[in-house]
Amino acid sequence: MSRLLLNLRVIVALGRRSVRQTFRRPQLFAPILVFPTLLLAIQTGGAGSAVDLEGFPQVNGFLDFMLAGAMVQSCLLAGNSGGIALAVDLEMGFTDRLFAAPISRFAIVAGRLAGTAAFGAVTAVWFLAIGLIFGATIEGGVPGTILMIALVALSATAFGGIGAAVALYTGRASVVQGLFPLVFVVLFLSDAFFPANLMLEPAATIAEYNPLSLIVDGLRELVIGGVDAAAVAEAIGAIALIGAISIGLSALALRRRLRLGA
Amino acid sequence: MPAIEVTGLEREFEGEIRAVDGVDLEVADGEIYAFLGPNGAGKTTTVRMLTTLLRPTGGTARVAGHDVVDEAAEVRRSIGVALQEAALDPLMTGRELIALQATLHGLIGGEAERRGAELLRRVGLAQAADRRVGTYSGGMRRRLDLASALVHEPQVLFLDEPTTGLDPVSRKAIWEEVAALNREGTTVFLTTQYLEEADQLADRVGIIAKGRIVAEGTPAVLKAEVGRPHLEIGLGDGSAAQAERICEAFGRKLPEKDGKLLVEVDGGASEVAKVVRALDEAGITVASLDLVEPTLDDVFVAKTGEHLEGAEEEAAPEAEPVRAGDA
């Protein structure tokens, strides 16, 4: 078997383990789907009249506006959970089993990210289903839906890189878990839950430059407007930027860990 | 070609802590080599370097003919590793773990399934294969860990403290499995802090303390270096001086200990009956009689001036006295 094929098989196997592990460990699963779903329900039920504000985007309903934010929140939390799971693997020595195998060591991180990506796709389908059940309209149609699932999976991978980098650098699940509140800070300083143009300063400016806003806008446009190549391209650009930095940091943290033999 | 060849191996950690300080050793193909030493002696650090998990800061090491630094991938293909405290995912089932391990070593499809099922059967986990590892006992975990290390039929098997924390029955099961593997041709390098484990399993033992090998050889040779078996005789009625004279006929008299007469006996257990009979014929009553053989702990004490941690508790059940009446 060629090295490439072996490493691809390993990535798929580790990705499958990662998804299974998330479903089997409620403390990893709950933040990814349950919390964003609850937040979506609370916000949609309690702040639905925000759509009447002047300057609010044209939407069929507040749920249509909120879906993209819920998906990105879910992705960020999936990335964090993936990081926690990797740190737990490091803490209990499971990664030594992988490091002692004749595979590319980055395949170990890639496998974890593949699992996070798969979970991202699951969350996209989950929130699309919720949206359709409760009356949202996906203006992008089938192509828009497929694009959304792909963008959410890619976002999860990029955010997963952040969790993986922190896990590999510190080797401690408690530290990765400490990122949890930051997820909400970053989210609320984007237009995930509220249009940036209606925010007060300095939040409005921060949200405008927050790459998360570009991802949310790209996804939201597929729900409320249709397939807009420019918005999708900007979302892909933001995902690529975050992914390049986070996965690059993961690779550096992995190399450092292997060098130190920690 | 030796299975493992180590020259001047060193590992220094930050803060100039030298965990391994110039280890030289050679393990022949098909041998069981035990690395015996207390916690912190450098056993695990050495194993981590030999299994490519840690880069040495000095010296060289070759495993299965490959350099652990320059040919790390080849080394990983040739070795099986079961590390300390069986690092297993409690959320996976035994079967899933073996399947993952098979994938890591390039086995796929039917071949991987067949090999996995065969190994689970071999270590007695076929019935528990679909249970999550979190529900396994310590012994079951170690057996699963051992099975996973064998999935690709490695040339050299590294076992880092394979029985630490296990009950005697589970420990014996692991020993039997390791011995069976060795009979099938697998070279085994194991670390242990149990004297009995090294004594029972190993063809050769390396005793390590503070990062250096302080003694190496077969258990019998190492023990013979520090002394011969001796009898500790507690006398009842009769003349002590006469008893000493009688015992001196069987071997060199050693300094008295706790009021007991000590005498070396080259023949070990076979001499006991003769000594008791001679004393009895002279009208001397033997109140107690223990046959004491040198242990690897005695070797450790002779080389380092310290006891192996836990050696006394471990030795306690073994040191059953041979009563005069039993002889």
Q: How close B270 gets to chain A, by Cα (Å)?
A: 48
How many whole angstroms from its chain centre is CA A156? 3
The pLDDT tens digits for B93-151 are: 999 999 999 999 988 888 889 999 999 998 889 999 999 999 998 889 988 998 999 99
Query: Band of the pLDDT at B173, cuts 50, 70, 90?
Result: confident
Which among B171, B196, B223 is the end of a domain? B223
- Name which of B77, B91, B108 is nearest A102 (Cβ-Cβ): B77
Claim to verify: residue B172 and residue B248 sit in the same structural domain = no
Mark which residues 86-125 of B lie under 8 Å from A by CB: 87-89, 91-92, 96, 99-101, 103-106, 108
Chain mean pLDDT for chain B = 85
Dist. CA A227–CA B99, nearest whole Å: 42
Do residues B216 and B245 both lie within one domain?
no
Query: Are B165 and B30 contained in the same domain?
Result: yes
pLDDT band at B314 (very low <50, low <70, confident <90, very high): low
pLDDT of A62 reads 84
Report the pLDDT averaged over residues A209-230: 91
For CA atoms A198, A203, A204, A209, give the dihedral sign: negative
**Quick check: helix, strand or coil at residue B2?**
coil
Is A97 close to B148, i.e. CB distance below 8 A? yes
Q: How many domains does chain B have?
A: 2
Q: What percent of chain A has a predicted confidence (pLDDT) above 70? A: 98
Query: A1: pLDDT confidence band, cut at 50, 70 and 90?
Result: low
Q: Is the pLDDT of residue B321 over 90?
A: no
Instruction: Find the helix packing angle between B109-122 and B94-104, rounded to 10°.
Output: 130
Question: Residues B68-94: pLDDT tens digits?
Answer: 999 999 999 999 999 876 688 999 999
Candidates A126, A137, A94; CA nearest to A112 is A94
Instruction: Specify the pLDDT at position B170.
Output: 83
Residue B327 pLDDT: 31
pLDDT in tens, B196-230: 888 888 999 999 988 999 889 988 888 887 777 88
Task: Grade residue A44 by pLDDT with cuts at 50, 70 and 90.
Answer: confident
Residue pairs spanning A and B at CB distance below 8 A: 74
Contact between chains at A96 and B77 (C-beta distance less than 8 A): no
Closest CB from A21, A93, A101 relative to B105 = A101
Tokens of A97: 């089993």
More confident residue, A30 or A163: A163
Instruction: Locate all alpha helices (DSSP H) within chain B, ordered by sequence.
Output: 43-50, 72-78, 94-104, 109-122, 138-149, 168-183, 195-201, 219-226, 240-248, 272-281, 296-304, 311-315
pTM of the model: 0.82
Is the Cβ–Cβ distance between B75 and B45 less than 8 Å? no
Instruction: Name the band, by pLDDT with cuts 50, 70 and 90, for residue B320.
Output: very low
CATH of the domain at B238: 3.30.70
Does the beta-carbon distance from B81 to A25 stay under 8 Å? no
Q: What is the DSSP string of chain A?
A: --HHHHHHHHHHHHHHHHHHHHHH-HHHHIIIIIHHHHHHHHHHHHSGGGGGSTT----S-HHHHHHHHHHHHHHHHHHHHHHHHHHHHHHHTHHHHHHTSSS-THHHHHHHHHHHHHHHHHHHHHHHHHHHHTT---TTHHHHHHHHHHHHHHHHHHHHHHHHHHHHHH--HHHHHTTHHHHHHHHHTTTSSS-GGGSPTTHHHHHHH-HHHHHHHHHHHHHHT---HHHHHHHHHHHHHHHHHHHHHHHHHHHHHHHHT-
Does B240 lie in the same domain as B202? no
Distance CA A219, CA A239 (A): 12
Cβ-in-10-Å burial (0-12, 13-18, 19+) of A121 comes to middle
Does residue B199 sit in the same domain as residue B314?
A: no
State the Cα–Cα distance between residues A245 and A159, nearest whole angstrom.
10
Residues B187 and B100 in one domain: yes
Domain that holds residue B126: 4-223
Phi, psi dihedral angles at B42 (to 5 degrees)? 115, 10
- B69 shares its domain with B194: yes
Model confidence pLDDT, tens digit, residues A177-219:
888 888 888 888 899 888 877 778 888 889 888 899 999 999 9
Residues B238, B126 share a domain: no
Cβ within 8 Å, pair A259-B55: yes
Nearest to A101 among B76, B85, B132 (CB): B76
Which of A114-128, B15-29, B270-284 has the highest average model confidence (pLDDT)?
Answer: A114-128
Cβ-based neighbours of B184, under 8 Å, separated by 6 or more: none
Whether residue B100 and residue A13 make contact (CB cut-off 8 A), yes or no, is yes
Tokens standing for residue A109: 């991180």
Last residue of a domain, one of B175, B190, B223: B223
Tell me, yes or no, if B130 comes closer than 8 A to chain A by beta carbon: no
Give yes or no: residues B97 and B8 share one domain: yes
By the 10 Å C-beta count (0-12 exposed, 13-18 middle, 19+ buried), A66 is classed as buried
Mean pLDDT taken over chain A: 89
Query: What count of other Cβ atoms lies within 10 Å of the Cβ of residue B114?
Result: 12
Mean pLDDT of the A114-127 span: 93
Distance from C-alpha of B268 to C-alpha of B172, rounded to nearest angstrom: 26
The DSSP output letter for B153 is: -
- The last residue of one of the domains, among B197, B223, B249, is B223
Is the confidence at residue A146, as pLDDT, over 60? yes
Both B235 and B207 in one domain: the answer is no
Rounded to whole angstroms, the Cα distance separating B39 from B44 reads 9
Mean pLDDT score, B173-202: 89
Domain co-membership, B106 together with B82: yes
Per-residue tokens: B156: 């050299």
pLDDT on residue B213: 92
Asked if residue A137 has pLDDT above 60, the reply is yes
Closest by Cα among A142, A150, A103, A137 to A6:
A103
Q: Tens digit of pLDDT for each residue in A52-89? A: 777 777 877 788 888 999 999 999 999 999 999 999 99
- Tell me which of B43 and B14 has the higher pLDDT: B43
Closest of A32, A193, A234 to residue A126, by C-alpha: A32
Do B123 and B260 lie in one domain? The reply is: no
Q: Give the CATH number, domain containing residue B28.
A: 3.40.50.300
B172 burial class (0-12, 13-18, 19+ CB within 10 angstroms)? middle
Query: Could you give the percent of chain B with pLDDT greater than 90?
Result: 37
**How far is the alpha carbon of B101 from chain A, nearest alpha carbon, in Å?**
8
Strand partners, B36: B192, B207
Residue A43 pLDDT more than 50?
Answer: yes
Alpha carbons A13 and B288: distance in angstroms, whole number: 64
